Structure 1
Amino acid sequence: MSCPKCNSDDWKSASLVYSEGLTHVSVRATGIASGEPGGGIGTFVASGLNQTHASRLAAPPQRSSLSFFFGILTALSLFLCFAMSWLWLIAVLFCALGMFVYFETESGHDEAHESAMAAWRELRRCERCGTFYKPTE
């Protein structure tokens, strides 16, 4: 199917646009300096990731970080359970609640994320005008 905006048949998948726009950078430099008060030798090491604007627009859907919060809540409750003996019942209740909410939200987020990933895999980008579209629309 052609682009709904300009009717061009020239397209790339969003996953290809995303991966083509990522560049891993690694730099290492060494220098020597001398001067009136003294000299020195230095080394510089850096690494990072460069990403184009088109790649950012074509990025896959991110997983929700809500389950991480409930994992931390559960771990904190376990710590309180062992650290303060007089709060053990409250800590155990919070721990059980945290684990329940964690597993409930995690299973729902997995299904939602898989659905969003399936939609992302179908997404295309027009090479003429830059519009993102689904071929079924």
Structure 2
Amino acid sequence: MQCPKCHSDNTQRLSVIYQSGTQLINTTSNTYGGGIGSGYGGGIATTNTSGTAQSYLAIKASPPDKKKFKIASILIVAGILIGWASGSLILFLLPAGVGVFLGRKDYRYNKNVYPGLREEWRNSWHCNKCGAIYIQQ
């Protein structure tokens, strides 16, 4: 695949850059300790760490995100709780209605916009010489 900007052959798909520059982290550490003079005995503590580490290029090559419905869900639950606690229909409808509106907006994005963005990402390439990102069908 040749870069349309600088004509270099040193190119990669964004999906390959993303996968090769993303590492999953899963570690466990044990700590041992003892007490002196305070009446406390020794102890063992275990710490688990998990997450991901990414290179800057992998972040740049990340796929598009779907909408997560977080704010919509929080507003709907808040509307239910506030409406139930106060007994007021208006205090229920205001946050819940906004939550439903935002949830529907996020749903439409995930159904109509996201698939096109994902397909565009799958067909996108990065030039390792000039840094250009371009789409190749």
List gaps (5 residues or longer) in structure 1: none
| CA deviation profile, 1:84-117 (whole Å, cap 9, x unmatched) | 12x1x21343266235413430232111222211
Where does residue 9 of structure 1 map in the other structure? Answer: 9
CA distance in 2, matches of 1:103, 1:46: 33
SS in 2 for 1:116: helix
Where does residue 84 of structure 1 map in the other structure? Answer: 86
Where does residue 131 of structure 1 map in the other structure? Answer: 132
Report whether the alignment pairs 1:60 with 2:63: yes
Where does residue 104 of structure 2 map in the other structure? Answer: 104
Most deviating of 99-108 and 39-48 = 39-48
Figure out how many residues of one structure are paired with residues of the other and give that number.
Answer: 132
CA distance in 1, matches of 2:75, 2:27: 39
Q: How high is the TM-score relative to the length of structure 1?
A: 0.75
SS in 1 for 2:9: coil
How far the C-alpha of 1:53 sits from its partner, in A, is: 1.1
| CA deviation profile, 1:65-96 (whole Å, cap 9, x unmatched) | 5x4222211111111222112x1x21343266
How far the C-alpha of 1:126 sits from its partner, in A, is: 2.0
| Identity of matched residues, % | 25
Most deviating of 94-103 and 123-132 = 94-103
Report whether the alignment pairs 1:75 with 2:77: yes
Q: Which has the higher contact order (CA 8 A, sep 6+)?
A: 1
CA distance in 2, matches of 1:4, 1:54: 20
SS in 2 for 1:128: coil
